[in-house]
Structure 1
Amino acid sequence: MTSTSPHPRPTSFPPLERRAPEAVGIPAAALAALADRLQEEGLDPHALLVARGGVVAFETAWAPYRLEQPALVYSVSKTYTSLAIGFLVDEGRLGLDDSVGDLLGLPNPHGITVRHLLTMNTGHSPEQIERYGFSPAGLLATAPERAPGTRFAYNSPATYALSAIIARLAGEQLTAYLRPRLLEPLGIGDRWMSSVDGIETGASGFHLTVDDIARTAIMLGAGGVFGGAQVAPRAYVDEMSRVWSDTAEFDGPAAAEDEVNDWSLGYGYQMWRSRHGYRLDGAAGQFGLIIPESDLVIAYHGATLDTQATLRAFWAFVDAVAVADAATVDAEAAPTSKIPVPTALHVSHDTWDSRADLGILRQAPFDADGLTLTDTADGWTLDLPGVGELKVGGSWTETEVEFEADAGAAAAGKQAGTSGSVVDAAGIADPACSSHAAPTRLVLATRGERRDDGSVLIHIVDTTSPHRAIVHRAADSGAGAVDAGWHIPPLGGGWEILRVPASVLTSERADTARPESAAPAGNPGDPAGNAAAPAETTAAALLLDMDGTLVDSHEVVERLWRQWSEGHGIDPARTLSIIHGRQGQDSMALLLPDRPHEVNLAENRELLAAETAQTDGVVAIPGAAALLAALRGLPHALVTSASLALAQARMDAAGLPVPSLAITAEDVTRSKPDPEGFLAAARALGVDPASCIVVEDSPNGIAAGLAAGMRVIGIGPHAAGTGATWVVPDASGIRVASAEPGIAVTIGA
C-alpha cells in the first residue's frame, strides 16, 4: 500500500475558493490601498488575507514572512479556547454557570464560574491578576476587589484556567480535543500551542497561518457552518460575539482624538466587539475580523504597538467596499453576481522596503552583551547572544537554529506571570505537551545592508512569530561595537520564549534547494524572489518515488485510510501519521500489533483494489512530466511502495509514463523506511548505490534513501528537517541532462 506524503492540511475540505476581487464586489484598488497603507504607516504587516462570502479575493505576505508559515498569534488563541468550552457545553459536560472550583477540584470561596472566566469578569483588578499569574488555584483563592460578574479586567490567567478545565474534563490537551471537532473540519493542519506547567496556555501561544484564521472567521460569521456543515455549536457561536462585558473603561490601545476606540465596545466569550462586527485579537496586531454587514473576513499578522492604527486602515477599506456596493448599477445584484475570474489577487511585498520606518523600541530589554558583527567576503557574521552565530547577506537568508533540551529551553513553553499551578491539585499535567524535555528551534531570517555613510543595518526576523531584532553599526564604531534591540519585543522574555519544538512542523513552506555543503537541511531561498544559488551535482541514476513526488493522490489515500481506521476504532490522525511511504500491511501491523499478518495482507489487498479503482483527483505534481521527459534515455527508476497495478493506474491518471524500470511492492519484502527498494533499483541498473540520488517526499522514504547510502532530494513541505541533502518545493526544482558518466543534476532555482 502506498500513500502520498503527510499532507499539511486535512482533506475534509479543499482549499478556500479564490476569485478576483471584482468577482466578489471588492475594488482591486481598495485592496492595493490597504496593503500600501499598512506598509507606509510603518505598521510592519506580515501577512494579509481578505475574503468575501467565504471566497478569498486577496492575499499577500511581506518577506521574509510567508502565507503558509504558521506564526505566533498571541491572544487570537483565546477564541479557540472559548470554542472548546462551547463544544463541552454542547456535549453536556459542563454549564457556563458551573463552579470553576468544582470542575478543577479546588476551593472556590468567591463563587467564580466558567462564564466569569470567559467574559474576563472575575472581579479581580489588574494588579491582582498580575500577582496570581497562571495559577487557577491562586485565581480562585484571591478575594476579588469587586463581585464576580461586575468588573471587566483583561485576564489571560482566566483563559488558562479554562484550558485547565478542558484538559481535566476531556482528558487531553486543548488542541488535541479541538482536532477532530474543529481543526480538521476547518481544514487546519498540525499546529502547536505553548504550555505552562504541562497545560496548554489557551490564552496565547497558538501558531496559525492567516488562512487558518480566515477559515475560523468564515465559520464564525456563518453561525458555525463551514463547507455546508455545522462545525461549531450554533447556539454557542451566536453568544460568543455578544457584549457580555462592558469595556468602556478598559485601558487598551490608544485611539486618536474623537475616534471610536475599538477596545471600548465590549467583550464576549474571548472575542472583542469592533466598530464593524467583532474580532479575534492578538498582541502586536494579530487579527481575525468578522464583518457581517458586508460579509467580509480579514485575517492578518503584523507587529506594531499602534494596533488601533491597523484597525483604522481596515475600517477605511471596509468603508471603500461599502461605497463600491452602493455604486453598483443593479442595486438588487449581489456583490458575487459578476462573472467570476478564477484567481484571487496575490501579490508579494517585502518588509525590507519599510526598514526606514522600523526602529528599535528603546524601553524594551534586549540581551546585547557579547553581540558582535564581523565583516565577511559576502556579508557579515552576527554572533547573537542566546541564539548563536548567524550568516547575513544582502538578501533574506533563513536559518533554523537547533537547541538541545535543557533547563533554558524550558522557557519556550512559559509565559510571563507563572506562579503556582493547578497541576498539583488537579493532577492533569501532560508532560508530552511541555517543551521542557524536548529539543527546540528558532526559525530566523536575516538580511543586511551597508549604507552610503558606511554604517551597517541588520534585521533578524523570527518567522514563526511577529518579532524581529534590529542591529545597527555606525560607520566609525569598529568591528564589534553595535546598537541592537527589539522592534516589538516578545511578551514575557526574549529569544528563548520564541523557540518552538524541533519535532513540530512549524512551516508548510516549499523550501528551495540547499547546497550540498550547507549544514542544516532545508536552506530556503529568499521569499522576496532572490532564491538561493542552485546546487549542481552528478548522479549515476535518479530513483524516484511516486506518491507525493510524481503524483498527488492524497485525497483517495487519506479517505480510504480514514474509513479503515474508523472501522477498526483507531484514531484516523494516528493512522495518517504513520502510513505515508509504507506498504499497507506494515502500517496495519504497527496500528494493530496483535493481529495476524495474514489478516493484514488480506485487508491490504482490499485497500489496494479500492485505491486502484479510485483515481479521481489523482494529478501530476508540478514539474513531474517535464522531469520524466528529460530523464528519457537516462538511467532512472520508479521505486514505490505501491503495487504495479496501482502504480500504473495512478501514473496513467496523472498522465505520466511509467519508467521502464519500476521497483514496486511485489519486488521487495520490506517497505520504506527500509532501503531494500532503492538498493534493488541500483542493482538492477548496475550502478553504485552511493552514486545514486533519491527523489522522495515522505520522511519514511527519505530515511530509506539515506539508509541506502544515497543522497536525497526532498520534495514538498514535509521534507524539511528530515535530513534530506536538498529540499525543493516540487519536481520543477529538479533539472537533468546527460553527462559522462550518468546524469548532470541541477537542484533549485
Structure 2
Amino acid sequence: MTPSPQSPRPRPRSPLMRRDPAALGIPQAALLALADRLAEESLDPHALLIARGGDVAFETAWAPYALDRPALVYSASKTYTALAIGYLADERRLRLDDSAGMLLGLPDPHGITVRHLLTMNTGHTGAQIEAIGMDPARLLATGPSHAPGTFFAYNSPASHALSAIVTAVTGERMTDYLRPRLLDPLGIGERWMDSVDGIQTGASGFHLTVDDLTRTATMLGAGGVFRGTQVASDWFIEEMTRPWSNTAAFDGPVAAAGEVNDWALGYGYQVWRSRHGFRLDGAAGQFALVVPELDLTIAYQGATLDTQATLRAFWAFVDAVGVASVAGEAADASEGIYASELPAAGDPAPDTWSSRERLTIMTEASFEADGLMLSDAGDGWTLALPGVGTLPVSDAWTAARLSRGDALSAPSSRPEAVADPAADDLRLAARGEQRSDGSVLVHVVDTTSPHRVIVIREADGSLRAGWHIPPIGGGWEVLRVPSVVTRRLARSSALLLDMDGTLVDSHAVVERLWTQWSIDHGIDPAYTLSIIHGRQGQESMALLLPDRPPEVTIAENRELLAAETAQTEGVVAIAGAGALLEGLKTLPHALVTSATRALADARMEAAGIRMPAVAVTAEDVVRSKPDPEGFLAAARRLGVEPADAIVVEDSANGIAAGLAAGMRVIGIGPHAAAAGPTWTVPDATAIHVQDDGDGGIRLTLD
C-alpha cells in the first residue's frame, strides 16, 4: 500500500481576490436582479458567491447564515469523491475499468467497474437502489435489471462504494486522502463529512462554504489549475465533465413548458452537465456552477424543492454577463460598483423577513411535535423544541448551540448516517414575529444545513409546526455535527473589547437608574433604554433633552455616574468573560468603553474579572460610540493597524463604531446580529484565543 504524501505545514488560507464587478465585465443590474429574484421567488437563498477568472465579484449571505460557516451541501459532495478516484488513477493505484469488487475485496458477479460507479451506470433501477442502501457488498451482489454501462439511475450507493474504494486502497478516510492533494492546495480549511459504518458517506454529508465551492469550481473550470498550480490532472477533469450518461429520462426537478431541463443534459463523473457548462449539485439547491466559456463560477446554498427555478435565475444572470461580454462593455471601475454596495449579510435586503413569511410547512413531512411549546417571555418567547431543547426567540435572529445532552427528548435510536460520536451539536438560529391577527410566527434555522422548522401559534393558542424542507434520512439527529463545522477562524493583531454587555452584565443597575431618570424628566423609559447602550451618558441626555443647557446635562450626568459607580449589586461577569481575559493576558488587547475609568474599575471588580492594562474610557475621547474614536485610539496605543484589529461588542452603537473604524466586529449577545457585525456569538464562551506565533492572536469562534 502506497502511503499518502504528508501535508506540509498548513498553508495560510489566503483569500480570493475581491474586485469591482464592472472590472470583471459583470453588470451591476444583473447582480441586483439576481439577488432580488432569489429572495422574491421564495427560493430561500442562504449564501451566494460569484467569481470570474478566480476573482470574487460578489458575495453575500442572507441572515442568519454566514459566509464563513460550512454547511451541508448534500450531493455536491459526490464531486469530491470522483476527484479522489482521479488521484488514485493518476497514482496508478487503480484503473477506471477495474472491477469494483476486486478493489473492495468483495464478489462482483455482475462486472460492475469503477467507471460504472462514477457514471451511475450500474444498471440498477431506482427501486433497486432504494432497497440496496449504503452497502457496497449488497450493491455488487444485487443483479441489475439492465446490463452495467447501459442504464442510468441516480445512485448514491454507487458514490458511497467509491468512497469505500478510496479507503480500501489507501487505508485512509477519503477527506484525509484528499487533504494534501486537493483541500490544502485549494486552501480549503478543516471540514467534516459524515460516515456510514466508519466509511465516509461519499454521496453526501460534506460541509463546505461557498468559498470552498468557488475554489473547487474555479479549479475545475481551469482544467485542474488553481493559482498557477496543476492541482488535478487535466485528462481526468476533461473525462469527468463529459456527458457519459444519458439522463433524458431522469425523473428529476420539473422544468417549465418549453424550457430546457437541466437534469436531462447528461451526467459525467459525479457532476451534472448544464445548459451552460457543468455543475456540482446537491439537494434543495446546493450548487457550484462552472461556465468555462465565460470563465465564470457561481457558488450557492439555499433551500427549495423548485431547484430548476434557482437555476433559471442563474441562467438569466449568465445570459446577461454573456451579452455584456459580447458587447464589450467598458470595464471601468469608476462606473461600476463594489460588492460592499450590493446587498450584504446583515443588510435589510438579504434579511428579508417578508420573504421568509412566504415559506410554508411541508405538511406531508414527518415532524416530532410531542412536547412542543411556545411561551411568552419578556420581549420575546421561549420555544421548547422536541429533540432539540429550549431556545430563546425574539424579533431578531438569536443564535443557540445545543448538544445532544440539551435535547428535551432523546431519540430511540440514532440513524446509521450519524455514526460519528463527535457529531453532537446543533447550531441553530431563531426569530419570531407577533402578527396582526394575534398569531406568532417563529422560524428555527439550522445554520449548518439547508433546513428550517416553522412554528405557528394561532391566536387561540393552538400550535402547528413542521419542516419547510425535511432533512434527508431523518430529523434533527441527522443534522448534528461536530464542533469543527460550527467553528470559525480569524487572525487579529489585537482584540478590542467593550465592557457593558460584552464582559459585564450591568443591565439591572443601568435600567433601574435610567428608568427613574426618564420618569423624572417625563420621557418614555423604553425609548431611553433603546438609545443609551454604548453611548456616554451626557450624549444620551443631550439627545433626549436637546434644548437643555449643556452645563446642566454635564452636571446631571456626573450625578448619575456617581450613582452607577456606587451601585454594583447585581453586576456580574458575562459567561466566558473571565476565561477570555485570562487567555488574552499575554496577547495584545484593550478595553474600550463609554464608561468613566472609575465606573469601569468598579464594574470589572464587582464582576470579578481582570482589567486590561490598556483601557480607553470616557475621559480619553471627545466623541463616544457610534463614533470610532475610541477604537482608533486603542489601536494607536497598541501600535496596530485598525484593519488588523477585531472588536468585540454587544450594542448597535458599539458595532457601528467598530465597523466605522475599519475593523472586523464580533457581535455578542442576542441582539447583535441586527447591527450587521462580521460574526456573531451568543456569549464570550464562544470566543477562544491563542498566540498565532507571529505576535498576534488566532481566534476560534464557536
- TM > 0.5 between the two? yes
2:343 aligned with 1:347: yes
Residue in 2 that maps onto 1:418: none
CA contact (8 A) 1:186 1:215 kept: yes
How has the CA–CA distance of structure 1 residues 267 and 629 changed in structure 2, closer, same or farther, with 3 Å as cutoff? Answer: same
Provide Cα deviations, 1:291-344, integer angstroms capped at 9, x if missing partner: 0111110000000000000000000001111121222267xxxx6999998866
Counterpart-to-counterpart distance in 2, 1:162 and 1:311: 28
Where do 5+ consecutive residues of structure 1 fail to align? 1-8, 416-433, 519-529, 552-621, 632-650, 658-715, 732-747
Contact 2:635 2:642 in 1 (8 A): no
Change beyond 3 A, Cα 1:730–1:57: farther
Matching of residues 407-446 of structure 1 within 5 Å? 408=411, 411=414, 414=417, 434-435=419-420, 437-438=421-422, 440-446=424-430
Give the 3 Å change call, closer, same or farther, for CA 388–655 of structure 1 in structure 2: closer
The reply on whether 1:59 has 2:59 as its aligned counterpart is yes
Q: Say which of 482, 485, 488 aligns to 1:501.
A: 482
Supply the distance in 2 between the matched residues of 1:293 and 1:235 (Cα, whole angstroms). 19
Structural mapping, 1:172-321, within 5 Å:
172-321=172-321
Aligned position for 2:362: 361
Q: For residues 261 and 726 of structure 1, do their structure 2 counterparts lie closer, same or farther at Cα, with a shift above 3 Å needed?
A: closer
TM-score by length of 2: 0.70
Residue type at the aligned position of 2:156: S
Distance change in 2, residues 1:309/1:725 (3 Å): closer
Q: CA deviation at 1:362?
A: 1.1
1:438: Cα distance to partner?
3.1
Q: 8 Å contact 2:427–2:486 — kept in the other structure?
A: no
Corresponding residue SS for 2:74 = coil
The change in CA–CA distance for 1:304 and 1:125 in structure 2 (over 3 A counts) is same
Contact 1:405–1:439 under 8 Å retained in 2: no
Distance 1:726 1:470, change over 3 A: closer
Identify the match of residue 460 of structure 1 among 444, 448, 452.
444
Residue among 448, 465, 468 paired with 1:487: 468
Shift of 1:409: 9.7
Give the residue type in structure 2 aligned to 1:297: T
Percent of aligned positions that are identical: 59
Question: Is the Cα contact below 8 Å between 1:375 and 1:381 reproduced in 2?
Answer: yes
Whether the aligned pair in 1 keeps the contact of 2:69 and 2:485 (CA below 8 Å) is: no
User: Cα offset for 1:287?
Assistant: 0.2
Write out aligned runs for 1:595-606 (5 A): none
Partner deviation per Cα, 1:24-55 (whole Å, 9 max, x = no partner): 00001100100100110010000000011111
Indicate the RMSD between aligned Cα atoms, in angstroms: 3.8
- 1:673-705: per-residue Cα shift (whole Å, max 9, x none)? xxxxxxxxxxxxxxxxxxxxxxxxxxxxxxxxx
> Which residue is 1:401 aligned to?
402
Report the CA distance between 1:14 and its aligned residue: 1.9
Contact 2:424–2:480 under 8 Å retained in 1: yes
* Residues 470 and 484 in structure 1, CA contact (< 8 A), matched pair in contact too: yes
User: Which residue does the alignment assign to 2:550?
Assistant: none
Q: CA deviation at 1:347?
A: 2.5
One-letter code of the match for 2:479? Answer: L
- Residues in 2 aligned to 1:257 and 1:14: alpha-carbon distance in whole angstroms: 45
Aligned to 1:40: 40
Residue 379 of structure 2 corresponds to: 378
Q: Which amino acid is the alignment partner of residue 19 of structure 2? A: R
Distance 1:263 1:46 in 2: 23
1:627-675 CA-to-partner distances (Å, cap 9, x unmatched) read 35568xxxxxxxxxxxxxxxxxxx7999999xxxxxxxxxxxxxxxxxx
Kindly state the Cα deviation for residue 132 of structure 1 after the two structures are TM-superposed. Answer: 1.0
**Counterpart-to-counterpart distance in 2, 1:374 and 1:259:** 48
Query: Which secondary structure state, in structure 1, belongs to the residue aligned with residue 343 of structure 2?
Result: strand
CA distance in 2, matches of 1:393, 1:379: 4
Q: Does 1:127 align with 2:140?
A: no
Whether the 8 Å CA contact 1:20–1:345 is kept in 2: the answer is: no
TM-score (norm 1): 0.66
- What is the identity, as a one-letter code, of the residue corresponding to 2:477? E
CA drift at 1:450 = 0.5
Residues 517 and 457 of structure 1, relative CA distance in 2, 3 Å threshold: farther
Equivalent AA in structure 2 for residue 414 of structure 1? A
Residues 210, 730 of structure 1: alpha-carbon distance in 2 compared, 3 angstrom cutoff: farther
Structure 1 residue 20, shift from structure 2 partner: 1.1
8 Å CA contact 2:123, 2:153 repeated in 1: yes
Call closer, same or farther: CA 1:373–1:509 in 2, change over 3 Å. farther
CA distance in 2, matches of 1:269, 1:726: 40
Amino acid at match of 2:359: L
1:265/1:275 contact within 8 Å kept = yes
Query: Does the residue aligned with 2:204 lie in a helix, a strand or coil?
Result: coil
* Contact in 1 for aligned 2:399/2:681 (Cα 8 Å): no
Residues 86/549 of structure 1: CA separation in 2 closer, same or farther (3 Å cut)? farther
Distance 1:544 1:219, change over 3 A: same
State the SS of the aligned residue for 2:289: strand
For the residues of structure 2 that align with 1:517 and 1:410, how far apart are their CA atoms? 42
Distance change >3 Å, CA 273–CA 91, structure 1 → 2:
same
| Structure 1 contact 387–495 (Cα < 8 Å) conserved | yes
Query: CA deviation digits over 1:491-539, x for unaligned, max 9?
Result: 1111111000246554458999975699xxxxxxxxxxx99x8899699
Letter in 1 for 2:430: T
Per-residue deviation, 1:203: 0.3
Q: CA deviation at 1:356?
A: 2.5
After superposition, what is the alpha-carbon deviation per residue over 1:103-136, rounded to whole angstroms, capped at 9, x for unaligned?
A: 0000000000000000000000011101111000
Asked whether the 8 Å contact 1:10–1:187 carries over to 2, the reply is no
Distance of 1:340 and 1:377 partners within structure 2: 46
5+ residue gaps, structure 2, are 1-8, 345-349, 506-529, 535-570, 591-628, 646-676, 692-700
User: In 2, distance between residues paired with 1:548 and 1:248?
Assistant: 61
Q: Contact between 2:429 and 2:444, CA under 8 Å: does it hold in 1?
A: yes
Equivalent residue for 1:68?
A: 68
* Equivalent residue number for residue 627 of structure 1: 634
Alignment pair present for 1:136 and 2:136: yes
Deviation at 1:81, TM superposition (A): 0.3
For residues 13-32 of structure 1, what are the structure 2 equivalents within 5 Å? 14-32=14-32
In 2, are the aligned partners of 1:549 and 1:730 still within 8 Å (CA)? no
Cα shift readout 1:378-419 (whole Å, capped 9, x = no counterpart): 21111111101111011000000011499959737617xxxx
**What is the rounded CA distance, in whole Å, between the counterparts of 1:12 and 1:439 in structure 2?**
27
2:360 aligned partner, one-letter code:
G
**C-alpha separation in 1, matches of 2:588 and 2:294:** 42
> Offset of 1:376 from its aligned partner?
1.1
Provide the secondary structure at the position in 2 that maps to 1:129: helix
For residues 655 and 452 of structure 1, the distance between their equivalents in structure 2, rounded to whole angstroms, comes to 44
**Cα drift, residue 179 of structure 1:** 0.7
